């Protein structure tokens, strides 16, 4: 029943987050090859990394949009959709049939949270053997004009509706790190208050690791475990082996 995998590729993993609009095509090729080898079936979501975050930041889209900064919507969307095309292309090159699905086209938000999303459409693509590739994006917002919806919010909003059994987040660190730099192997809602975690210094308009964990706890509340691991351990995650990273669960 709930046998689908939803895999998030962190923006830092597939772009050079210190630069601007720099796509790591070699990394994408490696990921696609691993997915092919593991007969991956499910949904892929990716972050924006350096393809979208700098643009969203420049136009202050995290604060909303009106006619004064609306031009930033297209600029940001085009940056992240260029990355999306590269992800789809890498999958196609391995013979994985994939189609990019953009939130800006298909979703609406209210005060920063998704209120509509193309769930039936994603389910139908999956049933046809096509891997939908979603991504963090600008989304039109009933209250703010526009907002930034992270790949992590996509995961927490859509996984419960899409028969997803396992969520994986491939990142550029081994897992959630404590402020001492150790991997936190397990996080539950009762841990979150006392948790002291490292922070990222690169531009991220979506809340970085703390935002990510908040989204995943919402998901855990619905009974879906998620896994945060180094992209180099993707194969271990896909084969349900220990990946050395963090598991976010209810208890």
Annotated binding site for substrate: 48, 53, 151
Q: Which of 2, 63, 93, 121 forms a contact with a second copy (CB under 8 A)?
A: 121
Q: Which of 64, 145, 198, 211 forms a contact with a second copy (CB under 8 A)?
A: 145
Could you give the C-alpha distances from 155 to 31, 69, 204, in angstroms and in order? 19, 28, 17
Does position 245 interact with a second copy (CB under 8 A)? The reply is: no
How many whole angstroms separate alpha carbon 89 and alpha carbon 205?
26
Does position 101 interact with a second copy (CB under 8 A)? The reply is: yes
Tell which positions 45-74 bind a second copy, by CB under 8 A: 65-67, 70-71, 73-74
Does position 239 interact with a second copy (CB under 8 A)? The reply is: no
Could you give the C-alpha distances from 106 to 100, 121, 183, 188, in angstroms and in order? 12, 10, 36, 32
In the block, residue with structure tokens 């007969």 = 39
Q: Which residues pair with 141 in a beta bridge?
A: 109, 145
Tell me the two tokens of residue 184.
């936190």
Nearest C-alpha neighbor of 13 from the set 1, 2, 28: 28
In the block, residue with structure tokens 């139908």 = 124
| Residue whose CB is less far from a second copy, 134 or 205 | 134
Query: Candidates 17-25, 52-60, 93-101, 218-226 — which segment interacts with a second copy by CB under 8 A?
Result: 93-101
Does position 147 interact with a second copy (CB under 8 A)? The reply is: no
Interface contacts to a second copy, rule CB under 8 A: 65-67, 70-71, 73-74, 77, 88, 92, 97-99, 101-102, 104-106, 108, 118, 120-121, 124-125, 128-130, 140, 145-146
């Amino acid at each position: 029943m709930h046998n689908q995998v939803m895999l998030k590729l962190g923006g830092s993993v597939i772009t050079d987050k210190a630069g601007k609009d720099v796509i790591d095509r070699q990394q994408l090729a490696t990921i696609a090859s691993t997915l092919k080898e593991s007969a991956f079936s499910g949904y892929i979501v990716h972050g924006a990394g350096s393809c979208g975050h700098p643009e969203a930041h420049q136009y202050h889209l995290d604060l909303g949009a009106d006619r004064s900064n609306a031009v930033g919507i297209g600029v940001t969307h085009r940056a992240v959709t260029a990355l999306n095309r590269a992800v789809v292309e890498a999958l196609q090159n391995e013979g994985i049939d994939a189609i990019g699905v953009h939130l800006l086209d298909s979703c609406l938000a209210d005060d920063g949270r998704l209120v509509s999303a193309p769930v039936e459409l994603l389910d139908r693509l999956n049933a046809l053997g096509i891997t939908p590739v979603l991504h963090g994006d600008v989304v039109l917002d009933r209250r703010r004009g526009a907002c930034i919806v992270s790949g992590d919010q996509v995961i927490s909003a859509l996984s419960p509706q899409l028969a997803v059994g396992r969520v994986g987040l491939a990142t550029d660190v081994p897992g959630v790190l404590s402020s001492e730099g150790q991997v936190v192997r397990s996080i539950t809602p009762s841990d979150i208050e006392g948790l002291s975690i490292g922070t990222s210094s690169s531009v991220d308009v979506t809340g970085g690791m703390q935002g990510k964990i908040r989204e995943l706890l919402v998901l855990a509340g619905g009974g879906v475990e998620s896994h945060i691991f180094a992209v180099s351990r993707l194969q271990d995650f896909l084969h349900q082996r220990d990946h050395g990273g963090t598991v976010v669960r209810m208890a």
